[in-house]
């Protein structure tokens, strides 16, 4: 991971990386498929970049299982 990148990113970053909607990003968090934390007074969701990479790896593995 690039040390210039922040450790935690907002859900908007997840939306851009995965090209999904806000509701889809929240659904991933609510389901537990993508671990996230709430920070700040307004309870903004943040995702550790390592968690996002792990989610992507699991998604690739699940897709590979479907193809075998």
pLDDT in tens, 25-56: 999 999 999 999 999 989 999 999 999 999 99
Consecutive H or E run containing 13: helix 11-18
pTM for the model:
0.85
% of the chain with per-residue pLDDT over 90: 88
Partners of 45 in beta bridges: 38
């Amino acid at each position: 991971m690039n040390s210039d990148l922040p450790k935690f990113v907002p859900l908007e970053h997840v939306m851009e990386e995965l090209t999904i909607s806000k509701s889809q990003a929240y659904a991933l968090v609510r389901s537990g498929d993508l671990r996230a934390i709430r920070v700040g007074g307004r309870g903004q969701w943040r995702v550790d970049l390592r968690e996002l990479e792990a989610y992507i790896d699991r998604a690739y593995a699940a897709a590979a299982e479907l193809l075998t």
